[in-house]
Structures are given as C-alpha cells and as structure tokens.
Amino acid sequence: MKLKYSIIISLVCSLVFSQNKDFVPGKQWKDNDGVHINAHGGGMLFIDGTYYWYGEYKTAGRAGNTALEGISCYTSKDLYNWHNEGIVLRVEENPASEIAKGCIMERPKVVFNKKTAKYVMWFHLELKGQGYNAASAAVAVSDTPNGPFKFKKSYRPNKGVWPINFKDEFKTASIDESKLKSWTPEWLTAVKNGMLIRRDFEKGQMSRDMTVYVDDNEKAYLIHSSEDNLTLHISELTADYLDFTQKWTTVAPAGHNEAPAVFKQDGVYYMITSGCTGWDPNEARSFKSKSIWGPWQSLGNPCIGKDAELTFYSQSTYIFPVQGKKDQFIFMADRWKPESPIEGSYVWLPITIRNGKPVLKWLEKWDLNAFREKR
C-alpha cells in the first residue's frame, strides 16, 4: 500500500512541476521532481527531438565548488520543463585519478560526432588539492547522450606548436621579461607579443573556461581562456573530436576574457565573453568575425537596460539555436553563489542581432515568442 501511495505522489509531483510555459531568468528553476535544476556552467545538445542540458553538479557549502559527484544531465522536449537524468560522468574514489572526488570539473560541453557515432564531452579540469594550476582541457566519451561517459584523458593544448597568427619575431624574447612588473603597459605589450605563449610552449597552453563549437562542415573547435586568463585560444579538434590538430589561433591578446560562448548567423561568427572578476559579475564583451580564425572585431557590451554593466548579475556559459526556428538563439548564463553553489540560478535570454551586433535585453519573464522582435 505504501508503495502505491508513493507512486501516486510521484506522479502528482511530476504533473505539478511539469507545467512551465515560460522562462523566468534568475529565479529558482525546478525540474519535473520539484527540485532546483543542478547543472551549472552548462551546455546544450539537441538529439532526435530532445534537448540535453549538461552542467556542473554542485553541493552545499564552499566545498560544493569542487566536484563531489560529477557532471549532471537534464532532458527536455520544450526547453521549459526538465527531467533529471542523473550524473552522467561520475568522479572517481581513486585518489590517483585525474577526476578524483574533490577535483574541479567545470563548464562541460557535449557534442555528437557523426563519423564515430560517439558523444564527446569536453570540460575544464583541475586536479584535486592543486587549485587552478593544472589548467587542463579534459575529454570523456559515451555511446549515448545520457551516458555514462568514460573519462579518456586531459591535455594542455598545442604543446610545441605556435598559433597561426603568431609573428616570427614573437617566437623569441627580445627583452628580459622576468623583470617586467605585472599590469604595466610594458608587461601588457609583452603578453600581446607572446610572452606567456613562449612560457608554456614546451608543456602546452593553459585551458580554463571553455566551450566547444561545431561548424556547418562538422569541424569542431575548443575555445578556451588561456595565458592566465589573459587571452582566448581557438583550437581545432581532430576528426574524432578527441584531440587537437595543432592548428590554433589567439583572440584578443591580453584582453582578459573568459566564459566564451559562440554562435553563427548569416555566415558571421559571434562570441560573447565576460571579464575576469572571480565569482562576481562584470560587464560582458562581444566579438564577431567572418572566419573562425579571425580577425575578431570587438563590439563592446551586448547587454542593454538595467544592470547591463553586470550582465544582469550573471556570466555567459553557452549559446544554442532553438530547433526549427530560424535565427533563434538562447544565451545561457549563471548567477554564481560560491557560498552555497547548489543554489546558483540561471539566466536565459533571447539574442537578437541589431546593426551587426548581438543584443541581450533583460526580460523578467519570456517565452519563445519573444523572438518575434525584429532584428
């Protein structure tokens, strides 16, 4: 009898919490079980009529900023209502593992490789107890979109390879860079001229905040914050999406960008990033280019309206197209809460293009009909 009542209660809860018909940015967002969605720094994948939202599974307290469970996944048919699929990449109890419980696993992005029929997850990995020193990009693979994913390896990308936009004279230092004082004009010029690329040339470049972008021709790219978060790198992935081709470039050297999110419309690539202020929000930046390899043109802050200078108290994580809707893209962002990470909320907003620039306008509540606004 107790089991019968339990099933009934579960069904009732599912019905009650399955009636979302709009997005309410920044507010608690409950899944079909009535629990606040736990998928931070996330990314989106659309497969066979279903959206898959992958993210960092957070727990209570400051320790919750480390990976105590792993990477979570939620599924939806309509983008409003989400079902918890559980942990799809789990941390390991083995302390010698790179993904040992207590490591840092951030910003997971999953893409489907049509050639191998594999689901490939990339994420930012830091080793347990070592802070942010590893600065690695890590990859895991699954046969199905809802896992389980199997950890493959981690990388410091582009070891022993110069970026394609690197001048020959940048390959050797002309001054004693060790004597430069940080954040002086001379130091910033040295960064722009490849000081930190040379520093990490032999061991590979840093990779922290990141996203993965798959182009129309199925080529994939890891776009990641590097050089102590001072410069963005775009690194081409191999055909199986599991390694690097060693073709890469830099974007906005010494610009201090992180949290990159990319989309493409009418043949133009757009990128939205944030500044680097730890867990605190800041003013977003935007860029565009006619080629993934650049040059990338700076467009300034894409946000307009109240709290635009703080990106509406959020930070970008991903941009994805709404299936079946031409030129409809959703900007995904997080409101971080480091003192209680599990309570962090989400800001989703529609993106419009005005005068060749992406625009994000705050909406207290909206649905997919909001895209009817003219570009």
Kindly report the CATH number assigned to the domain that includes residue 27.
2.115.10.20
pLDDT, residue 175, reads: 77
> Into how many domains does the chain fold?
1
pLDDT in tens, 296-307: 999 999 999 999
- The total of other beta-carbon atoms located within 10 Å of residue 174's CB is 9
The answer to whether position 124 is within a domain reads yes
- Can you tell me which residue has the tokens 């110069």? 162
End-to-end CA, the chain: 58
Give the integer Cα–Cα distance in Å for 103 and 123.
12
Res. 374: pLDDT tops 60:
no
**pLDDT band for position 11 (50/70/90)?**
very low
Claim: this prediction has a pTM higher than 0.85: yes
Residue type, 144: T
Residue 30 lies in a domain: yes
**Taking 60 as the threshold, does the pLDDT of residue 166 lie above it?**
yes
Is residue 143 included in any domain, yes or no? Answer: yes
Residue the block writes with tokens 């004279």: 169
The DSSP letter of residue 67 is B
Domain assignment of residue 55, yes or no: yes
> In this structure, what token pair is assigned to residue 340?
């209680």
The residue among 219, 353, 349 whose CA lies nearest residue 288 is: 353
Q: What helix, strand, coil percent values describe the chain, rounded to 5?
A: 15, 40, 45
Q: Is 192 helix (H, G, I), strand (E, B) or coil?
A: helix
Q: pLDDT tier at 18 (50, 70, 90 boundaries)? A: low
Is 204 within the bounds of a domain?
no
Rounded Cα distance, 108 and 87, in Å: 12
Query: Does a structural domain hold residue 178?
Result: no
pLDDT per position as a tens digit, 67-88: 999 999 999 999 999 999 999 9
pLDDT reading at 207 higher than 60: yes
Range(s) of the domain holding residue 108: 23-155
In a domain, 219, yes or no: no
Q: Is residue 131, in this structure, part of any structural domain at all?
A: yes
- The CA distance from 372 to 194, in Å, is 45
